[in-house]
Copies of this chain bind each other. A is one copy, B any other.
Amino acid sequence: MTKSAELSNKQQLVMDLLEKKPNPMSAYMILDQLRDSGFRAPLQIYRALEKLIGMGRVHRLESLNAFIACSHISCEKGGATAFVICDRCENVQEVCDESVSLFLAGLTQKAKFRASKSSIELHGICNACEEA
């Protein structure tokens, strides 16, 4: 529920909802939850998400077609992030340390590539679920 002067009303509503949920949400789930707040069409959700993603406050999970609030302050500063996603409980861990950026740096060098965006997503079962 972090407040940000730069967000419009609608953008803030989407941000707040995502920050309340620990799990990823699809755009249409978000829409369903926000109908009472004045959202009526998918595009309204996608537009807000686009902004929030651009600011680094929300991440898109490509392998789920879903969205999640960033759990770090650091991501807003542009570091690359890896997502570790439990397929049982849908919990998502964000890993955003040097190992990620070093790995990506090595990759771009090997591939002779100018990278602009990365998507690193690992699926499996988290420890908590494993023990349960």
Q: How far is the CA of A82 from the CA of B119 in the complex (A)?
A: 10
- Contacting residues, chain B, for A17 (C-beta < 8 A): none
Say what secondary structure dominates the interface of chain A: strand
Q: How far is the CA of A111 from the CA of B63 in the complex (A)?
A: 19
- Contacting residues, chain B, for A42 (C-beta < 8 A): none
Known: A62-B63, A63-B62, A121-B118. A113 touches B99 (CB 8 A): no
Q: How large is the interface on A (under 10, 10 to 19, 20 to 34, 35 or more residues)?
A: 20 to 34
Type the 1/0 row for A116-128, where 1 means its CB is closer than 8 Å to any CB of B: 1111111111110
Would A119 and B118 count as touching, CB distance under 8 A? no
Type the 1/0 row for A40-76, where 1 means its CB is closer than 8 Å to any CB of B: 0000000000000000000000110000000000000
Would B111 and A95 count as touching, CB distance under 8 A? yes
Would A115 and B107 count as touching, CB distance under 8 A? no
Point out the residue from B107, B115, B118, B123 that lies within 8 Å of A99, measured CB to CB.
Answer: B107
Would B119 and A124 count as touching, CB distance under 8 A? no
Residues of A within 8 A of B (CB): 62-63, 82, 84, 86-87, 93, 95, 99, 103-104, 106-108, 110-127, 130
